[in-house]
Amino acid sequence: MNHFSWGVEVKSWKRWTIFWVVLAFGPQQLLAEEWHQYGVSKTGQQAKPEMVTDAELALWGIVDGCLNSRLVHYFYVLNSHAAVLELAGGKKVLMRFHGDCQGVEQYGFVHTAQNDKFCADSHSIRVLQTGDRCKVESLEPYP
């Protein structure tokens, strides 16, 4: 009986150890995977985007690095390095900023389209409240 009781305690101890290890390290791993999904590491460094063909970009409405601004239905900020543009029809585009765009997470941003186009490398967004400008580095399909 003692041996069995001790075995249960050992098994219970092992379960609790596994529980605490998963609890301690699991969410960090999940967070790292989530950040990687956005193309940004936990330290804020941008991951190198995968190469996408012009034909694939065109399926998302991105032609010559530009997006028709009339397609943008909604947007949300992921972090100070990226935002997601939700298009009419349900597709999403990841908009990366050059460097760290301070205040964009807290205040959001606005953009004035020129000729109904929103282009990477030539357009910028303006952070609300602060008025700071952040240059758009790239527009990429977002899964």
- Helical residues (DSSP H) of the chain, grouped into ranges: 2-37, 54-59, 104-107
Hey, how many other C-beta atoms are within 10 angstroms of the C-beta on 78? 20
What does the pLDDT profile of the chain (143 residues) look like in tens digits?
Answer: 434 334 444 444 444 444 443 334 444 443 334 444 445 444 444 454 566 788 888 888 889 999 998 999 989 999 999 999 999 889 999 999 999 999 999 999 988 777 888 899 888 999 999 999 999 999 999 88
Q: Are 112 and 123 in contact (CB under 8 A)?
A: no
